[in-house]
Amino acid sequence: MKFSKTQWRKVYKQKRKALSAEERKALSQKIFVQLAQSDWVEKAQNIHIFISVEKLGEVSTQKFIQLLWAKGKSVFIPKVEGESLITCEYTPETLMEMSRWGILEPKSPKIVSEKEIDLVITPLLICDRKGTRVGYGGGFYDGLFAKCKPDILKIGVNYFSPINEIITTYESDVPLDYLVTPEDIFEF
């Protein structure tokens, strides 16, 4: 099938919604076991990761973030500011609040330069075999990637394997380097 990003977004929101909370929890665990054992995480010190939103059925990141802290990694999370994301330090002491979008964000963020980041773990609905990701349609992560070092490692985490092709892409789309699913790691 050749669908536009909008069509794929609709399909994979439904597929994700069809997974039970228990299935999502088990699949998330498998994803992060693979990621925790990767050289990428071992070599990276400054890791940018999203705070998962349960109501959206996103891959759960909470336990993985705790593991990163236990390994002595510096963890950074996004915060929406206007039409873009800023990068904020995230520690166990960070006070959080719910944004108007229902996303937990730092209440008094300590903002850092995206150039400090070694690795970005990004949410997505689906991607294709070239690493072109379909997110929620705001282009927030493409904008974040553009502010990072040119060689920033971009890793998507998803319950689903890549599809063959996304037919509508934009010049601003930044492809992933890797996708980690419960069963596989895909390199693009």
pLDDT tens-place string over residues 101-110 = 888 999 999 9
Residue 62 marked as a ligand binder = no
Could you read off the pLDDT of 14-66 as tens digits, one per residue?
999 999 999 999 999 999 999 999 999 999 999 999 999 988 999 999 999 99
Residue 140 marked as a ligand binder = yes
How far apart (Å, rounded) are the C-alpha atoms in residues 68 and 176?
21
Residue 40 marked as a ligand binder = no
The end-to-end CA distance of the chain, in Å, is 21
| 137, 106, 52, 128 alpha-carbon torsion, rounded to 10° | 40
Residue 181 marked as a ligand binder = no
How far apart (Å, rounded) are the C-alpha atoms in residues 154 and 57?
21
Residue 183 marked as a ligand binder = no
Residue 134 marked as a ligand binder = yes
Q: How much of the chain, in percent, has pLDDT values that exceed 70?
A: 98
- Do strands 96-98 and 84-90 pair parallel, antiparallel, or not at all (unpaired)? unpaired
Counting Cβ atoms within 10 Å, is residue 39 exposed (0-12), middle (13-18) or buried (19+)? exposed
**CATH number of the domain bearing residue 155:** 3.40.50.10420
Q: What is the pTM of this model?
A: 0.93
Residue 8 has pLDDT above 70, yes or no: yes
Residue 171 marked as a ligand binder = no
Q: DSSP assignment, residue 37?
A: T
Residue 133 marked as a ligand binder = yes
Tell me how many domains the chain contains: 1
pLDDT at res. 164: 86
Segments forming the whole domain that contains residue 132: 5-187
Residue 137 marked as a ligand binder = yes
Could you read off the pLDDT of 140-165 as tens digits, one per residue?
999 999 999 999 999 999 999 999 88
Residue 77 marked as a ligand binder = no
Residue 145 marked as a ligand binder = no
Residue 7 marked as a ligand binder = yes
